[in-house]
Structure 1
């Protein structure tokens, strides 16, 4: 049994196709198939049911894949241990960021990080929280940036900053003349939300749940971007809530419609998250230090109340 064979097994399990798995592993399909066949012969079992389309794992195959994932991930971390011992900060670092954080945070820290750690090759992708957690657990990401707490035992969290919610209230809205607003002023009947799958959406719902009964029927419109929500609000279709950093680059003519909350301000906790077995802690800490340094000057809020990004059941 070899680690290479286990890597081939994981690739087929993920793609459910021998040809595609071979392409992803940069080997020929016969080579990959032969190595998996050798492993099955050695173990005297079938890992895959080849009679099904797409290819499916057998029951014993599911257990083997789970263990193979642990072995391959741990073997890949041997170099991480050596790098950490030597104090070397370099190599490939795969990070995911949620969509409501990526557009504002990435431009703030990326250039600084690249200049400070030129030997690090950052591979960045934008995904929702559920996908990020799965990729961390599968070993496809080294770390991620997401709203927390996530209440996931396999994931560790290190707080980067607290970002207040800010209300965007157009001139024709009932709350426009309020200098500041309170969470008790909010009602789901006229709040425009991001579409399902965004943790910021869940945060808004949880915020309103603290003071009002929530009913799914109250939704009027949902959108995939804050820009669309702002345009809809300007058309008189309601108000919306924005993350504080998003308001910094808002069109100047729209800033008059921003309303802050009474303290403690409802806020989201944004953290760098990683799997509990992750060993690239020196890289994680380097990234965290850079981000905290650049954000510290942009967010000066201290008296905040953290709103959970996890859906309330």
Structure 2
């Protein structure tokens, strides 16, 4: 049994196809098939059911894949140890970021990170929290940036910053005359929300005083972007809530519609999350340093109340 054979097994388990798996690990399909067959003969079990389309793991194959993933992770740790000993920060690093954070945070730190750590090849993907958790556990992401706490047994969290919620209230709205608002003044039927799948929506629902039946309203709308919510709000269709960093790019006219919450302000915790195996920690720590540094000056609120919404979306 070799580490290479285990890499091949994991590739076939992921793609459920020998040809696609071979392309992923940069070998010919016959070479990959032969090595997996040798492993099966050595173990005297069938890892894959080749009669199924697409190929499926056998029951014992599922257990082997779980253990293979652990073994491959531990073998990768050896290279990590060498890199850390040499002070080397480089190589490929796969980072996931949730949609409500990526557009505002990424431009703030990416250029600085690339300049300081040019040997790191970042592969960044926008994913919702559920997909991030799955890919971290499967080893398809090295780390991610998401709203926390997640309360996942195999995932560790490094808080980066606490981002306040800000109300966007158009002229004529019942809260537009207030200098600051209270969480208990919010009405969920009056708020334009992000669509299901966004953890930011759960944070908003969590700070509203009650979850009222939206069917009482004349209409109910959920959108996938803050830009759409702002435009609809400007049309007098309701208010919305925004993460603070998103408000930094608003126009002067739109800024006049922003209302802060009375302190302590409700906020979300944003963290760098990664698997408990702690692979590539030197890059994770470098990311934390860069991001914390650039955000620290932007979010300068005190006495921020941390909201802990359901973050499983």
Contact kept, 8 Å, 2:11 with 2:21, in 1: the verdict is yes
Q: RMSD between aligned alpha carbons? A: 1.5
Deviation at 1:77, TM superposition (A): 2.1
The 2-side partners of 1:281 and 1:309 are apart by 28
The 1-side partners of 2:66 and 2:191 are apart by 43
Contact kept, 8 Å, 1:81 with 1:279, in 2: the verdict is no
- 2:206 is paired with a residue whose SS is helix
Q: Alpha-carbon deviations, 1:249-307, whole Å to 9, x = none?
A: 01221111111101110000011111111132222111111111111111101211111
The 1-side partners of 2:33 and 2:90 are apart by 34
Distance 1:98 1:311, change over 3 A: closer
Show the 5 A alignment for 1:195-234: 195-208=195-208, 211-215=209-213, 217=215, 220-234=220-234
1:302 aligns with 2:302: yes
- 1:171 is paired with a residue whose SS is coil
The aligned residue for residue 258 of structure 2 is: 258
Contact kept, 8 Å, 2:163 with 2:299, in 1: the verdict is yes
Q: Alpha-carbon deviations, 1:153-188, whole Å to 9, x = none?
A: 111111111100001111132111111111111111
Q: Which structure 1 residue ranges, 5 or more long, are not aligned?
A: none
Contact kept, 8 Å, 1:96 with 1:125, in 2: the verdict is yes
Deviation at 1:311, TM superposition (A): 5.2
Distance 1:217 1:60, change over 3 A: farther
- 2:181 is paired with a residue whose SS is coil
Contact kept, 8 Å, 1:10 with 1:65, in 2: the verdict is yes
Q: Alpha-carbon deviations, 1:65-97, whole Å to 9, x = none?
A: 100111112112211111112222222222111
Show the 5 A alignment for 1:41-60: 41-60=41-60
The aligned residue for residue 181 of structure 1 is: 181
Contact kept, 8 Å, 1:144 with 1:274, in 2: the verdict is yes
The aligned residue for residue 169 of structure 1 is: 169
The 2-side partners of 1:214 and 1:33 are apart by 57
1:146 aligns with 2:146: yes
Distance 1:66 1:102, change over 3 A: same
The 1-side partners of 2:213 and 2:35 are apart by 55
The aligned residue for residue 269 of structure 1 is: 269
The aligned residue for residue 283 of structure 2 is: 283
The two structures have a TM-score, normalised by structure 1, of 0.95
Contact kept, 8 Å, 2:205 with 2:211, in 1: the verdict is no
The aligned residue for residue 9 of structure 1 is: 9
The two structures have a TM-score, normalised by structure 2, of 0.95
Which range moved further: 61-70 or 228-237? 228-237
The aligned residue for residue 72 of structure 1 is: 72
Contact kept, 8 Å, 2:214 with 2:220, in 1: the verdict is no
The 1-side partners of 2:110 and 2:211 are apart by 41
Tell me how many residue pairs correspond in the alignment: 310
Distance 1:311 1:106, change over 3 A: closer
Contact kept, 8 Å, 2:99 with 2:128, in 1: the verdict is yes
The aligned residue for residue 156 of structure 2 is: 156
The aligned residue for residue 136 of structure 1 is: 136
The 2-side partners of 1:252 and 1:47 are apart by 62
- 1:123 is paired with a residue whose SS is strand
